[in-house]
Amino acid sequence: MSYIRGTVREVRSLAKGIREYSIELDSRISPSPGQFAMLWIPRIGEIPLSFADVNQSMVKFIIARVGRVTTFIHENIEEDSIIYIRGPLGRGFRISPGGNCLLIGGGYGLAPLYFLAKKLVELGCKPKALLGFKSGEDVFYQNEFERICGVEISTEDGSYGFRGTVIDLMRKILERSRYDIVYACGREEMLLKAARLCVEKGIPIEVSLERYIRCGLGVCGSCVIEPLGLRVCRDGPVFDGRILLMLESGEAK
């Protein structure tokens, strides 16, 4: 798969250490929500990023400053900078038209959920997003989600919105409302708790897993989920949430 050249058109600070990059590509791509791209900075490195939004040749990525390449991006990539992407890659969310959908996002892990929410609305679904953060200072993308669907915010310190984790909020919501499917993105510990809760309630759940992805094509084996042999970059990054429960219980052995 060849690289597509892109020009950064806007850089927006969302929260401490988190920025949104709007990039105009030289050619259009048509990813599905949940798929990702490898973003390449020549002589610096390459990282996987979920699509936060796509509109014709314009794509958006949410990038947290967490490592060497992302630090370089935060410090050096600005408007008119040239980057390259390879994608779309992987398997995204399975979307069925209609129905009530609950979206669960933790921190910058919420990135693919905005793109997903837009697609769900287009297909006649009724999504609701639950977004969890450490504190009120960390909250971002609330306004963007509110333009297209219902949103509730949780903060662990109670400084904004619901006091508690996004899983605590999810449990409260499921006690009073019924949903046809749950989509979740965030840390694996959070995803595991969400999967347990959905199994208890008899609700299907799909989760977007994070692993170290190097080639993005399923060749190098760096992102394999053992002992299942599933490759996050090719068989995922979106999986049925029951896979996490199989790994936890040892049933996958």
Per the structure block, which two tokens stand in for 202? 């008899």
Per the structure block, which two tokens stand in for 166? 């996004």
pLDDT digits (tens, 9 = 90+) for 34-59: 999 999 999 999 999 999 999 989 99
Domain boundaries along the sequence of the chain: 4-89, 93-208, 209-253
Q: Which CATH number fits domain 209-253: 1.10.3230, 1.10.1040, 2.10.240, 3.90.380?
A: 2.10.240
Fold for the domain defined by 4-89: Elongation Factor Tu (Ef-tu); domain 3 (2.40.30)
Fold for the domain defined by 93-208: Rossmann fold (3.40.50)
Query: In the chain, pLDDT over 90 holds for what percent of residues?
Result: 76
pLDDT at 248: 63
In the predicted model, what is the mean pLDDT of the chain?
90
pLDDT at 250 over 60: no
pLDDT at 98: 78
pLDDT digits (tens, 9 = 90+) for 192-223: 999 999 999 999 999 998 766 766 666 666 66
With cut-offs at 50, 70 and 90, classify the pLDDT of residue 252. Answer: very low
CA angle 151, 155, 157 (to 5 degrees): 160
pLDDT digits (tens, 9 = 90+) for 98-127: 789 999 999 988 999 999 999 999 999 999
Read off the pLDDT of each residue in 13-41 and give the average, rounded to a whole number.
Answer: 96
Encoded amino acid at 55, one letter: N
Phi and psi for 171 in degrees, rounded to 5? -60, -40
- CB 229: neighbour CB atoms within 10 A? 10
Per the structure block, which two tokens stand in for 228? 């299942």
Domains 93-208 and 209-253 share a fold: no
